Structure 1
Amino acid sequence: MTVGVVAFATAAALNTVPATAGKPYDPTTQSLAKLGLRHGLQIGTAVDMAALNDASEPQYRKIVATEFSSVTAENVMKWESLEPTRGNYNWGPADQLVDFAKRNRQSVRGHVLVWQNQLPTWLTSGVADGSISRQELRELLRKHITTVVSRYQGKISQWDVINEAVSDPWDNPPTLHYKGFWAQHLGPDYIADAFRWARAADPKALLFYNDYNIEAFGSGDPADDKTQFVYDMAKRLLAQRVPIDGIGSQGHLGTQYGNYDTLQVAAALKKFGALGLVTAFTEVDVRSQLTEAVQAGDEAEINPRLQASAANFSVLLKACLAVRSCLSYTVWGFSDKYSWVPSWFNDPPEGLATIYDENFQPKRAYYEIKSDLIFAGPPYVLPRIAPKPRR
């Protein structure tokens, strides 16, 4: 009974809004960060450190500091950035982000410890020419994870330990499998090893597997349903007492696709939650094809894309709000000016992927996210459940 009363009182306090007779409370003036706190939900963004440090872009720095309660390094915590030459670490940009977050009372998501992309040349070339053996490669991975996680122990709340380790149905072969550099050279056991090494380096950080195209279940067949494959993988890891705490769903969507509805996405989050895992949306953006008409400024082409984008951002957020084990919602950059999409998706060209335009003006997606945070509440949306890192 006491626990129930406390829980009810806590929920009531979180949903109480300050106001005076002369100045009614207006939630629309609040930041995404403050509105997220009402639900115990972290609202985050990936950060481009060059833009953050650019004196000619004060608006970028201001928005990062005021709108978000969590930050993720877009690139500066990846291996090629941290250790460009063997044994020589470049901690400066990553340290700057962690210090920035501390000054602004923000949490930090660590991205990423193990990924087959953006590896240092000295590592990949050493493996290719045989100068780095399999045994040495495994030791280098252990050392990298231990060194990085230990440096930021107590400063990073969530780590993407493994990123994008599973193939796609359109790959060759089409049957889903473990893909990439690490699976090729160490076999799939590297995944369990990485989680154990990360846990040894930081007993309190939450450790995630992170991937794209796992927003909802499809066929339910692990041979061609990536979400099912990841679910089965996580279940096996837990059975082996591997200290995996959560699943990160990246949330890279496109308005040209069918995508998902809120109930489908919430069902996936609940299924991972039933395993005892927390979840998070970690890299949300919604890109659109930049047709000639869009590039020419044709509103009849632009407006439907902006509306579809807002709807997709909203679907993921509403699903997260509905599931108490979903702890954070991070957009992968917030301004089209610094989005990774145009440089990566250029045939055909794509863009319009974020919640602010190139002039740092909020788009329809921003306001849709804000309204979701404002109007969601009990009994269907409750404060987050605080997890304990798995040992």
Structure 2
Amino acid sequence: MKVHHSLAAAVLASALILPTAAPALAAQHQAPRPPGIEKQDTLRWVAPNDLKIGTAVAGGGHHETQPYPAPFPNDREYLQHLAAEFSSVSPENQLKWEFVHPERDTYRFAEMDAIVEFAQENKQVVRGHTLFWHSQNPAWLEEGDFSKEELRAILKDHIQTVVGRYAGKIQQWDVANEIFNDNGTLRTTDNIWIRELGPEIIADAFRWAHEADPKAKLFFNDYGVESVNAKSNAYLELIPRLQAQGVPVDGFAIQGHLSTRYGFPGDLRTNLQRFDDLGLETAITEIDVRMDVAAGTQPTAAQLEKQASYYQRALDACIAVEECNSFTIWGFTDKYSWVPVFFSGEGEATVMWNDFTRKPAYYALQESLEQASPGRGNR
């Protein structure tokens, strides 16, 4: 087995935040922050202790085709805000199969190692994303001629190698990602694992992850499950059945890729509560709120107000549910958002503009976090 280490030293060296005040701040056990941003004026500071405020760490995927260096670790201003604002980080693409496992006998860990190191330096937790998915798999896997036994061994090796490498360093894992169609049926066509190995392989994925790191919390993660619907109902039925078989499922995560062209999912809190009632942890893991914005124009004040309302209502729903302990924005600046690359005519989906100035959505989140702090934890 070959592991890429050649980039690790350079990536780690440039990833760490080193503003002039950093040594003093570290000595005071405070997270570094950009010059001019007071600690008391960041999302992570105003949040209650029992709620992690996270973001995706931009890199891999669509970023590799864009006309800029990898945001992490090359954009220093980006790194400063990443450290200052968030208590949790998730790799946007750096742990997806095509990135971290580009050839059968090759793992590419340098970038993820750097993210973990960055998180440790800045007192952040890490969510792992993702181990079992139908998308962003490498060609060698999807086009390979493997027997069922070989394919099962490949999946087990991947899960235990990746989870084992970060045991004790990654607190939560999206083990199985997007396994259901919108109508609540399993993805038996486009998910290579379910198609070739049967539904039972889902339980094995959780078991293998648990063996590699017994302390990590293991989640299902999906989009389109914000509401009470066929897809979320399928998870509500599946998870207790797996748990009855001794499968270590700890949580259910809702992605939350929203658009202002559609109504807000008003039953989000009710839906989260259904899973909380099962004794599960819950999380909102990939939220963004895209808007219809024509090329060369800016969103209107009314659009920004609506976007802010969606972000705030989603956060309020999480805060209202006891075991919803993680709220992650899928990228915090429009400068690096995936949305305009994949949704033609839509964009401006994050809480900061390209220059890292704050949108109304940022202040809406800050307001809800400030209001929640007295009842949810001590600063």
TM-score, normalised relative to structure 2: 0.83
Instruction: Quote how far apart the aligned CAs of 1:273 are.
Output: 0.9
Is structure 2 residue 243 aligned with structure 1 residue 233? Answer: no
In the alignment, which residue of structure 2 is the partner of 1:52? 72
- In 2: Cα distance, 1:254 partner to 1:271 partner: 24
2:199 counterpart of 1:188: yes
> Are 1:335 and 2:344 an aligned pair?
no
Q: Which residue number corresponds to residue 187 of structure 2?
A: 178
Aligned position for 1:389: none
Matches within 5 A, 1:28-177: 29-36=40-47, 38-49=48-59, 50-54=70-74, 57-126=75-144, 131-169=145-183, 176-177=185-186
- The aligned residue for residue 297 of structure 2 is 296
What is the one-letter code of the residue matched to 1:154? G
Amino acid at match of 2:107: Y
- 2:257 maps to what in 1? 252
Shift, 1:216, TM fit: 2.1
TM-fit CA distance, 1:177 = 3.0
Q: Distance in 1 between matches of 2:200 and 2:302?
A: 45
Q: Does 1:360 align with 2:353?
A: no
State the aligned residue count: 329
CA distance in 2, matches of 1:226, 1:302: 34
Cα distance in 1 between the residues matched to 2:138 and 2:122: 31
Counterpart CA distance in 2 for 1:296 and 1:200 is 51
Helix, strand or coil at the partner of 2:170: coil
State the distance in 2 between where 1:269 and 1:76 align: 28
C-alpha separation in 2, matches of 1:340 and 1:201: 31
Counterpart in the other structure of 1:221: none
Structure 1 unaligned blocks of 5 or more: 1-26, 170-174, 219-224, 385-391
Tell me how far apart the structure 2 counterparts of residues 344 and 350 of structure 1 sit (CA, whole Å): 9
264-273 vs 68-77, which deviates more? Answer: 264-273
Instruction: String of CA shifts for 1:182-241, please: whole Å, max 9, x gaps.
Output: 2211111111010000000001000000001111214xxxxxx11111111112111212
Amino acid at match of 1:51: P
What are the superposed Cα offsets for residues 6-57 of structure 1, whole Å, 9 maximum, x if unpaired?
xxxxxxxxxxxxxxxxxxxxx9943111112x24110000001420221xx3
Alpha-carbon separation, structure 1, partners of 2:150 and 2:192: 15
Find the aligned partners of 1:383 and 1:63 in 2 and give their Cα distance: 24
Structure 1, residues 57-108: CA drift from partner, whole Å, max 9, x if none? 3210100011000000001111111121111111100100000000111100
Aligned positions of 1:192-207 closer than 5 A: 192-207=203-218
Shift of 1:284: 0.5
Amino acid at match of 1:107: V
Give the AA of the match of 1:178: R
Secondary structure class of the residue paired with 1:86: coil
Q: Which amino acid aligns with 2:210?
A: R
Residue identity in the other structure for 1:331? I
Query: What is the distance in 1 between the residues matched to 2:124 and 2:131?
Result: 21
Asked if the contact 1:48/1:74 (under 8 Å) is kept, the reply is yes
Hey, what's the Cα distance between the residues in 2 that align with 1:329 and 1:336? 18
Q: Is the 8 A contact 1:324 1:383 kept in 2?
A: no
The one-letter code sitting in structure 1 at the alignment partner of 2:297 is A
TM-score of the aligned structures, taking structure 1 as reference length: 0.81
Question: How far 1:270 sits from its partner (Å)?
Answer: 1.4
Tell me the distance in 1 between the aligned counterparts of 2:259 and 2:235.
22
